[in-house]
Amino acid sequence: MRTEFHDTLESLVTDLAEMCDRASAMMRSATTALLDADLAQAEHLRVALAELSALGTGVHDRAYHLLALQAPVARDLRTVVSALHIGADADRMGALASHVARTAVRRFPERAVPDEVADLFTEMGSTAVQLAADARDAVADRDAALAERICAGDERMDELHRQLFVRVVGPRWRHGPMGAADVVLLGRFHERFADHAVEIARRVYFQATGAQLGAQPVGL
Amino acid sequence: MRTEFHDTLESLVTDLAEMCDRASAMMRSATTALLDADLAQAEHLRVALAELSALGTGVHDRAYHLLALQAPVARDLRTVVSALHIGADADRMGALASHVARTAVRRFPERAVPDEVADLFTEMGSTAVQLAADARDAVADRDAALAERICAGDERMDELHRQLFVRVVGPRWRHGPMGAADVVLLGRFHERFADHAVEIARRVYFQATGAQLGAQPVGL
B220: which DSSP letter?
Answer: -
pLDDT, tens only, A133-148: 999 999 999 999 999 9
* pLDDT category of residue A42 using cuts at 50, 70 and 90: confident
**pLDDT value, residue A220:** 34
B135, HSE (Cβ side, Cα atoms, 13 Å): 35
Contacts of A84 in chain B (CB under 8 A): 81, 84-85
Long-range contact set of residues A211-214: C-beta below 8 Å, sequence gap at least 24: A213/A147, A213/A148, A213/A151, A214/A151
- Non-local (6+) Cβ contacts of B165 within 8 A are A181, B184, B187
Contact status, residue A156 vs residue A197, Cβ threshold 8 Å:
no
Amino acid (one-letter) located at A168: V
Distance CA B45, CA B48 (A): 5
User: CA A127, A129, A130, A134: dihedral to nearest 10 degrees?
Assistant: 140
The answer to whether the CB of B177 falls within 8 A of the CB of A179 is: yes
**Stronger pLDDT, B17 or A39, i.e. the higher one:** B17
> What's the pLDDT at A212?
85
Q: What pLDDT does A213 receive?
A: 83
Q: What is the DSSP track for A144-202?
A: HHHHHHHHHHHHHHHHHHHHHHHHHTSTT--SHHHHHHHHHHHHHHHHHHHHHHHHHHH
**CA gap B27, B193 in Å, rounded:** 9
Write the residue in B53, B71, B216 that is nearest to A216 by C-beta.
B53
Residue of A nearest to B178 (CA): A169
Q: What is the pLDDT of residue A47?
A: 94
**pLDDT at residue A217 greater than cutoff 70:** no
Write the CB contacts of B40 (distance below 8 Å, at least 6 apart in sequence): none
Which residues of chain A does B53 touch, with a Cβ-Cβ cutoff of 8 Å?
Answer: 216, 218
Contact at CB, B180 and A180, closer than 8 angstroms: yes
| A74 lies within 8 A of chain B by CB | yes
Instruction: Give yes or no for a contact between A191 and A161, defined as CB atoms under 8 angstroms apart.
Output: yes
Cα gap A17→A21, rounded to integer Å: 6
Which of B102, B173, B178 would best serve as a mutation to test chain A binding (most A beta carbons within 10 A)? B178
CA dist A115 and A121 (Å) reads: 10
Say which residues have a Cβ less than 8 Å from residue A6's Cβ, sequence separation at least 6. Answer: none
Mutate to test the interface with A, among B51, B59, B69, B169 (most CBs of A within 10 A): B169
The DSSP call for residue B85 is H
Angle at A193 between CA B120 and CA B42, to 5 degrees: 45
CA dihedral (A141, A145, A146, A147) positive or negative: positive
A146 CA: distance to closest CA in chain B (Å): 24
User: Cα-atom radius of gyration of chain B, to the nearest Å?
Assistant: 19
Q: Taking CB atoms and an 8 Å limit, are A175 and B177 in contact across chains?
A: yes
Nearest-CA distance from B154 to chain A in Å?
Answer: 19
CA atoms within 13 A on the CB side of B170: 11
Residue-wise burial string across A74-102, b where 16 or more C-beta atoms lie within 10 A, e elsewhere? eebbbbbbbbbbbbbbbbbbbbbbbbbbb
User: Which architecture, in CATH terms, is A2-209?
Assistant: Up-down Bundle (1.20)
pLDDT tens-digit profile, chain B (220 residues): 568 899 999 999 999 999 999 999 999 999 999 999 888 888 899 999 999 999 999 999 999 999 999 999 999 999 999 999 999 999 999 999 999 999 999 888 889 899 999 999 999 999 999 999 999 999 999 999 999 999 987 899 999 999 999 999 999 999 999 999 999 999 999 999 999 999 999 999 999 998 888 644 433 3
For chain A, what's the residue count? Answer: 220
Interchain CB contacts (distance < 8 Å): A and B: 90
- Taking CB atoms and an 8 Å limit, are A218 and B180 in contact across chains? no
Q: Chain A residue with minimal CA distance to B52?
A: A218
User: What does the alpha-carbon distance between residue B143 and residue B135 come to, in Å, rounded to a whole number?
Assistant: 9
CB contact under 8 A, B98 and A219: yes
Over residues A117-170, the pLDDT tens digits come to 999 999 999 999 999 999 999 999 999 999 999 998 789 999 999 999 999 999
Give the distance from residue B137's alpha carbon to the nearest chain A alpha carbon, in angstroms.
25
Under 8 Å CB-to-CB from A34, ≥6 apart: which residues?
A: A100, A101, A103, A104, A111, A112, A113, A121, A125, A186
Side chain identity at A162, as an amino acid letter? R
Count Cβ atoms within 10 A of the Cβ of residue B161 and give its class: 0-12 exposed, 13-18 middle, 19 or more buried.
Answer: middle
Look at phi and psi of residue A214 and say left if phi exceeds 0, alpha if psi is from -120 to 50, else beta.
Answer: left
State chain A's mean pLDDT as an integer: 93
> Rounded to a whole number, what is the distance in Å from the CA of B141 to chain A's nearest CA?
24
| Cross-chain residue pair B178–A169, CB shorter than 8 Å | yes
Q: What does the domain layout of chain A look like in residue ranges?
A: 2-209
Min distance B153 CA to chain A CA atoms (Å): 22
pLDDT at B220: 34
Band (pLDDT 50/70/90 cuts) for residue A1 is low
Contacts of A177 in chain B (CB under 8 A): 168-169, 173, 175-177, 179-180
Q: What is the pLDDT of residue A132?
A: 98
Closest C-alpha to B48, from B66, B9, B10, B21: B21
Read out DSSP for A95-112? HHHHHHHHHHHHHTTS-S
pLDDT at B1: 56
Going by pLDDT thresholds of 50, 70 and 90, the confidence category of residue A214 is low
Calculate mean pLDDT across residues A210-220: 60
Please indicate whether, in this complex, the C-beta atoms of A77 and B88 are within 8 angstroms of each other.
no
Give pLDDT tens digits for B65-91: 999 999 999 999 999 999 999 999 999
Query: pLDDT confidence of A2, banded at 50, 70, 90?
Result: low
Q: CA nearest B199: which of B2, B9, B23?
A: B23
**What is the reported pLDDT for B37?**
87
